[in-house]
Structure 1
Amino acid sequence: MRIRDQRAYDEPGIDLVPLIDVILVLIIFFVITTTFDVRSTLQLQLPVASPQAPPPARTLNIIVNADGRYFVGEREVLRTDIEAVKQAIVEAAGDDRELPVMLRADARTPYQAVVTAQDALAQLGFRRIAIATAPDTPAPEPQS
């Protein structure tokens, strides 16, 4: 009687399960890393100030310095909360809500301080608000 060796009938083959696992991991890796490369496509063009006519004779000047401190007219507002700013505006402007307001803020002023001043003006009913800017400086012409 002849005993057969079972190994002789085994045909060599490639096991695809580990290969599929590796390919799936590579696909996930490439999908995740390509999303990190996406850059913002939002293009901002900031407004440029052009010289205009001087402001009216009587305006209410509100100045916000680089530290976020408020100056209404000639007075400094001691607190920086909105109620203190509103109180100072009422004292400076009285009952005239048609009075033009010139809001001047330092370029380094925290954005929240400017928004607080605008919010106080809006709550009091002021609608004629101008924001002071520096005029656009023309670029020097190239030398020929």
Structure 2
Amino acid sequence: MNSDFSLDGDFDDGIDLTPLIDVVFMLLLFFILATTFMKPAIAVSLPKASTSEAQSRQKQLLITIDREGRVHHGDSLVEPSQYPALLDKDPGLPINFMIHREAPFQSFMGIVDEARRKGRTDFVITTEPDHALRG
């Protein structure tokens, strides 16, 4: 009796998972890169400064203040009573303030005062470069 299949294990009945693993790694890589290049959730028109510098890609605690003076972290609104918890969230990260050019200054000072009360002096203010001011 001559058969193409023998019962002694010559037939490979396993499933090759290599393509599935390749797809999973590609998806993981896509999501890691996509989150790295995301813009802030709140769009603000930044003030211009002649001393503006390119921001480093290090991780930062991003706090945005909109035109009306409301403070945001990510896409959530932060009330003044929540400032201490926000600033305690990641004490090792520098704070990056993105403030709309028409925002009331008192909104900015409210959260800066709370940061100073917490001993935080590691913050930057993001601006747009203004080449006309450099002369």
Task: Give me the TM-score of the superposition, normalised by structure 1.
Answer: 0.51
* Aligned residues: CA RMSD: 2.3
- Give the percent of matched residue pairs that are identical in Structure 1 and Structure 2: 20
Aligned partner (choices 97, 100, 109) of residue 103 of structure 2: 109
What stretches of structure 2 of length at least 5 have no aligned partner?
1-47
In the superposition, relative to structure 1, how do residues 73 and 125 fare at CA in structure 2: closer, same or farther (>3 Å)? Answer: farther
- Give the aligned partner of residue 68 of structure 2: 67
- List per-residue Cα deviations over 1:28-75 (Å, max 9, x = no partner): xxxxxxxxxxxxxxxxxxx93334242241111110101111112443
Structure having the higher Rg:
1
- Give the aligned partner of residue 84 of structure 1: 82
**Paired amino acid for 2:87:** I
Whether contact under 8 Å (2:62, 2:74) holds in the other structure is yes
- Between the aligned partners of 1:48 and 1:67, the Cα distance in structure 2 is 21
1:71 counterpart SS class: strand
**Paired amino acid for 1:110:** P
**Paired amino acid for 1:106:** H
- Between the aligned partners of 2:74 and 2:119, the Cα distance in structure 1 is 18
Whether contact under 8 Å (1:68, 1:110) holds in the other structure is yes
Whether contact under 8 Å (1:70, 1:76) holds in the other structure is yes
Structure having greater relative contact order (Cα 8 Å, sep ≥ 6): 2
**Equivalent pairs, count:** 86
Whether contact under 8 Å (2:63, 2:71) holds in the other structure is yes
**Paired amino acid for 2:55:** P
- Between the aligned partners of 1:121 and 1:56, the Cα distance in structure 2 is 22
What stretches of structure 1 of length at least 5 have no aligned partner?
1-46, 140-144
2:113 is the counterpart of 1:122: no
The correspondence of residues 1-144 of structure 1 with structure 2, limited to 5 A, is 48-77=49-78, 79=79, 81=80, 83-91=81-89, 93=90, 96=91, 98-138=92-132
In the superposition, relative to structure 1, how do residues 112 and 51 fare at CA in structure 2: closer, same or farther (>3 Å)? Answer: closer
- Between the aligned partners of 2:95 and 2:50, the Cα distance in structure 1 is 17
